[in-house]
Amino acid sequence: MNALIPDGYFASVADIDLTFDVLNKGYTSILLDIDNTVRSRCNNLVPHSIAVWIEKACSLDIRVCLVSNNWHQNIFTMQSELGIPVFGKALKPLPFGFQSARRAFQVEKSQMLMIGDQLVTDILGAHWYGIAAYLVAPLAPCDPPYTALMRRFEAGVVASRFPKPVCRAGCATQQSVANTCREHRA
């Protein structure tokens, strides 16, 4: 397995189906990156759809936390804002943040899922640690220079991949999503 290839690719965290894409695959713990995954780098806000998704995950007894390389104090305000633990200074792709989350949740690696917007930190780090990882498109085009440079590399890796189609029209099964979505777009 190529450690840079995500186990799933989605347009947004809110587009990940908590039953089909998480629980049915045996994941009981979700680790979320913060910047441009949960919170926009442009305005530092968490979109309402993602806050609702996190609430729903928690209501389904899925353990959720934030794992970030960020070291600024503002990431810890998200702990009270979203009601989930935050592990900062994670140093992804190194294993420290993943280990902290696993210790806190007391779960097997096979039950853990990392969700992030960067291949080299989130996806590679998760795979090196031995857990599944979903890639999401960045929330905003605002990136610091070092991330912007990495995005050029990432574009070559994900160029032929497209986020999983999402249908909000009441599809009966996940297999029917693509067909039903095409029908609704027509």
Task: Please determine, for residue 140, whether its predicted confidence score (pLDDT) is greater than 90.
Answer: no
CA distance 101 to 98: 5
| pTM for this entry | 0.80
pLDDT score for 158: 66
**pLDDT per residue as tens digits for the range 95-139:** 899 999 999 999 999 999 999 998 989 999 999 999 999 999 888
pLDDT score for 183: 34
**pLDDT per residue as tens digits for the range 26-39:** 999 999 999 889 99
Task: Please determine, for residue 75, whether its predicted confidence score (pLDDT) is greater than 80.
Answer: no
Gyration radius from the chain CA atoms: 16
Paired tokens of 146: 């070092």
Coil, helix or strand for 90? coil
Task: Classify domain 8-185 at the CATH superfamily level.
Answer: HAD superfamily/HAD-like (3.40.50.1000)
Mean of all residue pLDDT scores within the chain? 81
